[in-house]
């Protein structure tokens, strides 16, 4: 019998089992403990499936301090009482350019904002067996704790966990909402509906329409609330907290804590959405871009991996139509021979199904429905 060649022996002795990403992701998901569980285990190196490719990480470096740093507009809603037209113009300009703005003096008690952030933080910091009770990838349950909605579709996972709650059009039964955050979540949802209606009125007028035009489309009825938790990341230069994407819905209302990390893509590059005590972050979603026939623009945004010694917490509510079978597209009054409709009509069901079948990645959703 002939002896094996030197090359064969060398290959066998130097071989290591190839990294099985699918297996690693499955094991992580089945642990039901999320990124918080990884940190609690004492890891110093993030698992390979969280490491993003160089092209994703290449522009994560902060701007030099010498650079002038543009800021996201901050709009005082209390000024509506003095000059509604001026506030409408401020919102129109923000929505038609950067697609992001912050609002202050919105009427939500500061105490409720702080209690809501604290309650979401408390949920994520419960013992892992408590969190695991509601860990599921099943759509339609109304309550789910999950790490990365696109975990099995994405090229790389992001360093965050999420509590997701369906608040409308048919809200999840209150008894199913984890008790540790139940009261705050319900109070916060009511305030978001009120603020959302105010914003839709101002955005409608910014399009030259009656104040009630967007609200009458039911754009505040479908609501999903997500409570994101971004633990400290031991290697923040290798991953992200939330990958670059545009929101699919009409409007998003975000409450963020003091840690920072949210960024929006602008014509001047990535810009920090700096935490402002008592402010709410508002961003235009893909659906409103389509309905407005691109008078308003949705914007790519992301969250950097958290390098702080304390977790980052944010609470976002996605405002959508309540009727998933109704047709949506550019409003007829915003189209003309000079500016024809840029998108075809579609149902919300088709729209959202398309979104959840892909990973979070920029503008592919709006491009899919373009005429």
**Looking at the domain assignment, is residue 276 inside a domain?**
yes
**For residue 11, what pLDDT is reported?**
39
Render pLDDT for 282-321 as a digit per residue (tens, 0 to 9). 999 999 999 999 999 999 999 999 999 999 999 999 999 9
Query: What is this structure's pTM?
Result: 0.89
Render pLDDT for 232-247 as a digit per residue (tens, 0 to 9). 999 999 999 999 999 9
* CATH number of the domain where residue 171 is located: 2.60.120.330
Total domains, the chain: 1
**Looking at the domain assignment, is residue 95 inside a domain?**
yes
Torsion of CA 304, 90, 249, 273, to 10 degrees: 10
**For residue 67, what pLDDT is reported?**
56
**Looking at the domain assignment, is residue 10 inside a domain?**
no
**For residue 6, what pLDDT is reported?**
34
**Looking at the domain assignment, is residue 265 inside a domain?**
yes
DSSP 33: -
Q: Is 70 exposed, middle or buried (0-12, 13-18, 19+ CB in 10 A)?
A: middle
* C-alpha to C-alpha distance for 189 and 210, rounded to whole angstroms: 26
**For residue 367, what pLDDT is reported?**
76
* C-alpha to C-alpha distance for 39 and 88, rounded to whole angstroms: 45
**Looking at the domain assignment, is residue 65 inside a domain?**
no
- Sheet of 251-256, strand order: 74-76, 100-104, 280-284, 251-256, 312-320, 222-230, 161-168, 143-146
**Looking at the domain assignment, is residue 29 inside a domain?**
yes
* C-alpha to C-alpha distance for 137 and 225, rounded to whole angstroms: 16
CB 147 within 8 A of CB 229: no
Q: Residues of the chain whose pLDDT is less than 70?
A: 1-18, 61-69, 356-364
Domain boundaries, position 125: 21-59+75-369
**Looking at the domain assignment, is residue 2 inside a domain?**
no
**For residue 55, what pLDDT is reported?**
84
**For residue 9, what pLDDT is reported?**
34
**For residue 65, what pLDDT is reported?**
52
């Amino acid at each position: 019998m002939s002896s094996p060649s030197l090359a064969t022996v060398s290959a066998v002795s130097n071989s290591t089992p190839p990294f099985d990403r699918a297996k690693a992701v499955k094991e992580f998901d089945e642990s039901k403990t999320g990124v918080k569980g990884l940190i609690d285990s004492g890891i110093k190196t993030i698992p390979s499936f969280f490491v993003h490719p160089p092209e994703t990480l290449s522009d994560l470096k902060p701007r030099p301090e010498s650079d002038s740093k543009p800021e996201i507009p901050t709009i005082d809603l209390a000024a509506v009482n003095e000059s509604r037209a001026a506030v409408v113009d401020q919102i129109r300009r923000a929505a038609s350019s950067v697609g992001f703005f912050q609002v202050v003096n919105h009427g939500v008690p500061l105490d409720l904002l702080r209690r809501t952030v604290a309650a979401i933080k408390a949920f994520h910091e419960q013992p892992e067996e408590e969190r695991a009770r509601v860990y599921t990838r099943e759509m339609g349950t109304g309550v789910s704790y999950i790490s990365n909605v696109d975990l099995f579709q994405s090229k790389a996972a992001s360093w965050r966990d999420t509590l997701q709650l369906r608040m409308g059009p048919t809200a999840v039964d209150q008894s199913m909402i984890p008790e540790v955050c139940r009261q705050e979540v319900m109070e916060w949802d009511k305030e978001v509906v009120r603020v959302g209606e105010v914003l839709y009125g101002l955005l409608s007028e910014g399009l030259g329409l009656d104040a009630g035009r967007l609200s009458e489309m039911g754009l505040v009825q479908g609501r999903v609330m997500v409570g994101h938790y971004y633990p400290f990341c031991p290697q923040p230069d290798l991953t992200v907290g939330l990958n670059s994407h545009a929101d699919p819905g009409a409007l998003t209302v975000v409450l963020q804590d003091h840690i920072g990390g949210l960024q929006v893509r602008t014509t001047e590059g990535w810009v920090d959405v700096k935490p402002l005590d008592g402010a709410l972050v508002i961003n235009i979603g893909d659906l409103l871009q389509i309905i407005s026939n691109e008078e308003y623009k949705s914007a790519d945004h992301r969250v950097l991996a958290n390098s702080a010694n304390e977790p980052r917490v944010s609470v976002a509510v996605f405002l959508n139509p309540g009727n998933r079978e109704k047709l949506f597209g550019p409003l007829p009054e915003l189209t003309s021979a000079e500016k024809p409709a840029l998108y075809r009509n579609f149902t919300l069901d088709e729209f959202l199904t398309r979104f959840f079948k892909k990973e979070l990645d920029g503008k592919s959703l709006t491009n899919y429905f373009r005429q």
